[in-house]
Structure 1
Amino acid sequence: MKVNTGSHGARRYVMRRRRYKHSEKKVGASPGTLIYVGQEIDYKTKIRRIDYNEAAYTVENIKRLASCSRPDDASDIVSWVNVDGIHEPSVIERIGQQYQLHSLLLEDVMNSQQKPKVEEYDGSYLFATLKMLYFKPASEELDSEHLSFVLGKNYLISFQEERKADLFQPVLDRIQASAGKTRRNGPDYLLYALMDLVVDHYFVVLDNIAEKLEGLEDCIIQQAAGQDTLTHLYTLKRELTLMRKAVWPVREMLSRLLLEESELIRPTTIPFLRDLYDHVVQVLDSIDSYRELATGLLDVYLSTLSNRMNSVMKTLTIFSAIFMPLTFIVGVYGMNFDNMPELHTRSGYFVVLGVMAVLTVLMIIYFRRRRWF
């Protein structure tokens, strides 16, 4: 979302959405075919593995996929594999082979248009996907990123769609600092921590949208709104609708994780997931409130335009009412008849002007008493 300043002090907003055409290669392809659907990316996938427990941790940048093997189930070390880039089918397929992941799961990982969801595969691993929403620092455009997670007994694989910045760096910093509960808990808590980071970004986006709604509200109330105000309001409503479309399935995901007893989710993690569920509900409530506010502002703006039009029409009507009898008088004495005694009166011209002036004053007094202006 881009913010500019108009000539009347009204802030202008430009929102852009990334639109991806569904790949033509998808049409007719067999289920599980790995085809990337998303923004074009021109760099190689980066893979980083973080192994940790309460006592120690190691961070390794993976250059050979053969070294990114599945950890031993008996190990007490949590293995976090962070994959930055989902655009290379060969890389995603190799990771799937290493961890014995279902082909349909890998297909959802590479499809950035996949809606958020959670699925469990035979109790051996759990798959979750959702959308990260944020504003780009330079242009303040509202953008989204497709994220996927595979949770195993003692490992977690995270897939990021994006390109340059590591969205999960704050969680990695906590692991390296040995602070908080991340190092003392299993991969299910790590999944919660990453999802909590995503939900925290939802609040940041909402704060930004609230600020822009307040700016538009001030412009409308102060009658400083320009002609593009209607476009900005519709754009904000569309962005709120898209945001709700991305957040609502997250509520269903968390509800399913809380209701279904999965062996991969430990009882100690349930309270944190319940708190995360409450945060998502709060985000959805805020989205609905802002949508109602945007609708209200739209009604106020249209009412303001209607009142302005009514004021203009009333002013024009008053002028027309004043000049109508004057035009009638002028029309009568403008007729070319010889038998019009007033035309031969010496002071007839001044008398008619006086009558017209008195008539104008009387009509103005009448309109003022009726409070028509």
Structure 2
Amino acid sequence: MSKHKRYRSAEKTFGTSPGTLTYIGEDIEHVIKIKRIKYNADEYHIDDNSRLSACQLPDSGTPFVNWTDVDGIHKTRVIAALGERYHLHPLLLEDVINVEQKPKIDLYDAPPAQDGEKSSGPVVFVTLKMLHHNPEQQIIETEHVSLVLGENYLLSFQEERTQDIFDPVIERIKASSGKTRRNGPDYLMYSLMDLIVDHYSVIVERISDKIDELEEEIVKECTEREILNRLYRLKRELGYIRRTILPVREIMSVLLREESPLIKPGTLPFMRDLSDHVNQTVETLDSQRDIISGLMDVYYSIVNNRMNSVMKTLTIVSAIFIPLTFIVGVYGMNFDHMPELHTRTGYFWVWITMIVIAIGEVIYFKRRGWM
């Protein structure tokens, strides 16, 4: 079972200067889709197919939260243009399109204001991995996701648009349900991160179900070689998921530890709750990995016990036939003077002797608990 998408070689970026935008992900034909959402507690506006020219750094005094969701990161020209409009650091943009970048967090100070331009202020940059289960191929797929939090705006970047992973948050904004409409962009960033972490829990629960199925199959059909192969695949899958989720714990630690003016005090309790959620997920993965290791030990133990049982049976059968073989071998010698060979009842008594010996050995082995 594959763990993640296979990307083209990173040799394309070898030797390039820092901040160079080079996309190394899968070849994608569709155009980048930009969705702009503007809202406050009283109203909201959604532009599902916004033009790049409409994406501008909002005024500092705007009463709205401005969310720009970019679906697709394969067009470096578009990403670079957005970076210029929002005055984003080149290294930040490089991480946005680097699909092999591990989850991380960076805090960028406000760049020097240019003449006649708005000041962009400090930003919080977070990159994560969204996990999807592919039911057709039975694999875990990852999607590169980046979030850029500014003073009154949030930029989100998704790798592809086959499914908008942030639709539940958009629906909450439309329905004015929950706390999203009544809070700032920092709470919106929390909501998106919480949605991603919830997907982690779904994947982990699915793995728990697979472990339960394998546990039953090991007891019933332990001799099946495929069970061991599935255990190995599941163990590798757990390792990959753990490596994906573990950096998120450090991200949450930085968000809670660093005093960023972009994270309001009212959002910190939700961030702490999300941090606990991430820690629980990592602990569950560790527990599942231990369970799989235990199941492998059980598998080998059952196989060895069955092999020992077979060897024990063969040994007992061999032990029973050793004296019988000896008797047959003695009377199979080609000597002329063997008195028993010329008696009328010799053949009968040989059989009686061998049967008695065999029965006696069986009784002895049973009394010793060997049978």
**Larger displacement relative to structure 2 (131-140 or 85-94):** 131-140
Which amino acid letter does the alignment assign opposite residue 273 of structure 2? Answer: D
Q: Deviations over 1:63-101 (max 9, x none)?
A: 531111111111111110101111111111111111111
Cα deviation, residue 137, structure 1:
4.1
Q: Deviations over 1:306-329 (max 9, x none)?
A: 101100100110111011111111
Which amino acid letter does the alignment assign opposite residue 161 of structure 1? Answer: E
Residue of structure 2 equivalent to 1:181: 179
Residue of structure 2 equivalent to 1:5: none
Contact conserved, 2:36 with 2:50, CA < 8 A, in 1?
Answer: no
Instruction: Give the TM-score normalised by the residue count of structure 2.
Output: 0.94
Structure 2, unmatched stretches of 5+, are 111-121
Which amino acid letter does the alignment assign opposite residue 121 of structure 1? Answer: Y
User: For 1:39 and 1:47, how far apart are their aligned partners in 2?
Assistant: 20
Residue of structure 1 equivalent to 2:339: 341
Which amino acid letter does the alignment assign opposite residue 248 of structure 2? Answer: V
Residue of structure 2 equivalent to 1:9: none
Q: Deviations over 1:158-215 (max 9, x none)?
A: 0011231000000000001111110111100000000000111111111100000000
User: For 1:316 and 1:21, how far apart are their aligned partners in 2?
Assistant: 55
Match of 1:245 among 228, 243, 252: 243
Cα deviation, residue 222, structure 1:
2.8
Cα deviation, residue 15, structure 1:
4.6
Contact conserved, 2:34 with 2:51, CA < 8 A, in 1?
Answer: no
Residue of structure 1 equivalent to 2:29: 42
Residue of structure 2 equivalent to 1:70: 57
Residue of structure 2 equivalent to 1:118: 105
| Mapping of residues 140-219 of structure 1, within 5 Å | 140-219=138-217
Cα deviation, residue 16, structure 1:
4.6
Match of 2:66 among 79, 84, 108: 79
Q: Deviations over 1:321-345 (max 9, x none)?
A: 0111111111111111112111111
Instruction: Give the TM-score normalised by the residue count of structure 1.
Output: 0.94
User: For 1:201 and 1:187, how far apart are their aligned partners in 2?
Assistant: 21
Which amino acid letter does the alignment assign opposite residue 246 of structure 1? Answer: T
Contact conserved, 1:62 with 1:68, CA < 8 A, in 2?
Answer: no
Which amino acid letter does the alignment assign opposite residue 113 of structure 1? Answer: E
Cα deviation, residue 138, structure 1:
3.8
Which amino acid letter does the alignment assign opposite residue 45 of structure 1? Answer: I
User: For 2:339 and 2:180, how far apart are their aligned partners in 1?
Assistant: 107
Residue of structure 2 equivalent to 1:370: 368
Report how many residues are paired: 360
Q: Deviations over 1:283-323 (max 9, x none)?
A: 01101111111111111111001101100100110111011
Q: Deviations over 1:13-58 (max 9, x none)?
A: x455323243322111111111112222221111100011111111
User: For 1:17 and 1:350, how far apart are their aligned partners in 2?
Assistant: 74
Percent of pairs with identical residues: 55
User: For 1:21 and 1:370, how far apart are their aligned partners in 2?
Assistant: 66
Q: CA RMSD in A?
A: 1.3
Which amino acid letter does the alignment assign opposite residue 84 of structure 2? Answer: Q
Aligned pair in 2 of structure 1 residues 137, 229: CA closer, same or farther (>3 Å)?
A: closer
Residue of structure 2 equivalent to 1:289: 287
User: For 1:254 and 1:16, how far apart are their aligned partners in 2?
Assistant: 25
User: For 2:186 and 2:169, how far apart are their aligned partners in 1?
Assistant: 14
Q: Deviations over 1:227-266 (max 9, x none)?
A: 1111111111111111111111111111111111001111
Which amino acid letter does the alignment assign opposite residue 159 of structure 1? Answer: F
**Larger displacement relative to structure 2 (129-138 or 14-23):** 14-23
| Mapping of residues 253-272 of structure 1, within 5 Å | 253-272=251-270
Match of 1:331 among 322, 329, 332: 329
User: For 1:114 and 1:247, how far apart are their aligned partners in 2?
Assistant: 13
Aligned pair in 2 of structure 1 residues 102, 225: CA closer, same or farther (>3 Å)?
A: farther
SS at match of 1:82: strand
Residue of structure 2 equivalent to 1:19: 6
**Larger displacement relative to structure 2 (153-162 or 134-143):** 134-143
Cα deviation, residue 349, structure 1:
1.1
Which amino acid letter does the alignment assign opposite residue 331 of structure 2? Answer: Y
**Larger displacement relative to structure 2 (40-49 or 217-226):** 217-226
User: For 2:259 and 2:189, how far apart are their aligned partners in 1?
Assistant: 16
User: For 1:203 and 1:120, how far apart are their aligned partners in 2?
Assistant: 27
Residue of structure 1 equivalent to 2:87: 100
Residue of structure 2 equivalent to 1:354: 352
User: For 2:370 and 2:192, how far apart are their aligned partners in 1?
Assistant: 64
**Larger displacement relative to structure 2 (54-63 or 91-100):** 54-63
